[in-house]
Amino acid sequence: MKKVISTDRAPKAIGPYSQAIEINGMLFISGQLPVNPDTGCVADGITEQTEQVMKNIGAILEAAGYTYQHVIKSTCLLSDMANFKAMNEIYGKYYPEDAPARAAFAVKELPLGVLVEIETIAAK
């Protein structure tokens, strides 16, 4: 049976979707934007935005009883591939060993005009 995961420590959904869904020992986290859940503000620059996205993912993981070590797949959406290196440096801090599988794409634009969005799948 699916379970909706929600926490105030990550931004509320800006549309008809859940922050995450857990089912059969797997957690599917919706794409996270670099919105500070306390202020509702978007971070400046790709480094700061990636850091905020990863914090938001961490808050949802924790709310569901998971950690970054449970992450098996990420999809990174970038507004510009020129930001890949800077995003990758921050992202890599959260997965120092046994990094999850990952894809990264440049897209035309992202919600709220942000530079990065990351969706995540974790499993126990």
- What pLDDT score was predicted for residue 109? 95
pTM to 2 decimal places: 0.96
| Mean of all residue pLDDT scores within the chain | 97
Q: Does CATH number 3.30.1330.40 belong to domain 3-123?
A: yes
- What pLDDT score was predicted for residue 13? 86
- What pLDDT score was predicted for residue 102? 98
pLDDT score of 15 more than 90: no
Residue with token string 């801090």:
93
Residue 97: CB atoms within 10 Å: 5
pLDDT digit string, tens, across residues 22-81: 999 999 999 999 999 999 999 899 999 999 999 999 999 999 999 999 999 999 999 999
Domain ranges of the chain: 3-123
Which strands, in side-by-side order, build the sheet including 71-78? 3-5, 20-23, 26-32, 116-123, 71-78, 101-106
